[in-house]
Every structure is written in structure tokens, then in C-alpha cells.
Amino acid sequence: MTDFDPELSGALADDLDADPALASAVLEIESHIAADGWDQPARLYALVDTAALVEREPALAAAMGLDSASAQGSLTPIEQDQLRPDQPLEVALESIVWPPEVAGCAAVVERLVLPPDADPLIPADPASAEEFAREHPDRQDVRIVAGVTRAGATYCALRLRAHDDDQSVVGGADLVPGLLQLLGVTLDEPGDTSGDASGDASGDEGEKQG
């Protein structure tokens, strides 16, 4: 299901001021997801320092085609267990805490976006806002891939369904600040945590995407 996100209205603008390792990982995820088309569920990825992964898990790294020559200064995306289909991504993120070996994380989600001139007409009630967006003649589907690192770097890649080609993917460091903030919180040092979702987001090192 594609939800409406008013935060995206008017947000499509290029931004080249970004961490290259994070941007590369986010774009790698975006390309991998795009190959499977639209109407996909939300997904979550751990971003692991590739050099550390090669050193810590040499057999796994070899199976993924990674070596010390390709490892320096890069991040490897590792997809996590599928999120619950009945739970919004934003709610799932509230109970996730990543282990120390995870250098960052990224999320993929599809949303509806409206043109900026529709902003004053969007109802305050979330359910009414979503209905308004779905019925708007100029609505567009957008896929967001948002990533953050423990060092504070952020990057997003946006693909519009109406312009579904690699050359039209828009990148920027702060295109979806609300989602980036939620992702960043999952990387905070653990304090009082009562959720049990950290087991699913524990950096379990499966296959690299891409």
C-alpha cells in the first residue's frame, strides 16, 4: 500500500553535498529495488563497513564478492527480515536498536506526493489527507530510499513512478528529514529499550543487495 507523505511535497531537488559511501550504498539499494518494479513493501537494511565485514567474516565476504581491495571506504547493505505488512515503517523503527557493528541503516518505502500548490488544501487529519492525496489528479507515486550513518551523514534517493528510469532518480542529503530522523534514532546508543525488534535488526549478515 502506498501512503501519502506531505513532507515530500516540493522536496524534489538535487543535492550533491553528501557522504560518498552512504550515497553509493543508497543508490545501490535503489537500483536493486527498482528491478522488481512498484507496489513493494517497506524494507530495512543494515549498512556495514565493508572493510570490517571482510576482516570479521572473510567467508561471507568472499561469497558476496567482496575483498580488501574493494572494501576501503565503502558500506555494504544487508537486508533485514521483512517488516510486518500491517505495521507502518515509522512505527517499526520506534522499537529498533542496531548493534555496534552496524555503521548505518537504510529504509525503502513508497509514498504519494502532491505538487507544492496543493499543500494549503491538505486536510490536517491523516486519514483525510491520504484520501485527498489519492483522489488528487496530480498525485504521483514516489519510492524513497533513505539512509543514515552513525557519523551523522544522511542521503535519500527518490524515484517517481511517472519517470521510472535511472537517469530521473533524484538524490539529496535531506529530502525526507522526518524519516531520516527516525532512522537516526535507531542508531543512538541504547538506553531504556523495551521493544524486541532489535533481534530482527541485529546486523544479521545475509546476502548483499545489488
Convert the pLDDT of each residue in 48-73 to its tens digit.
Answer: 998 888 888 887 777 777 766 556 67
On whether the CB atoms of residues 77 and 28 are closer than 8 A, the answer is: yes
Biggest alpha carbon–alpha carbon distance for the chain: 55
CA 121 to the chain's CA centroid: 28
How many CB atoms are located within 10 Å of the residue 125 CB? 10
Indicate the pTM of the whole model: 0.76
Query: Does residue 153 carry a pLDDT above 70?
Result: yes
- φ/ψ (deg, to 5) at 79: -70, 140
Convert the pLDDT of each residue in 76-115 to its tens digit.
Answer: 999 998 888 888 898 999 989 999 999 999 999 998 776 5
Query: Does residue 34 carry a pLDDT above 60?
Result: yes
Nearest CA among 119, 104, 94, 97 for reference residue 28: 104
Return the beta strands (E) in the chain as ranges: 3-4, 43-49, 75-79, 102-113, 140-149, 154-160, 170-172
In the chain, domain spans: 3-188
Cα–Cα separations (whole angstroms), residue 112 to 3, 18, 115, 136, 176: 6, 25, 10, 10, 13
DSSP designation for 6: G
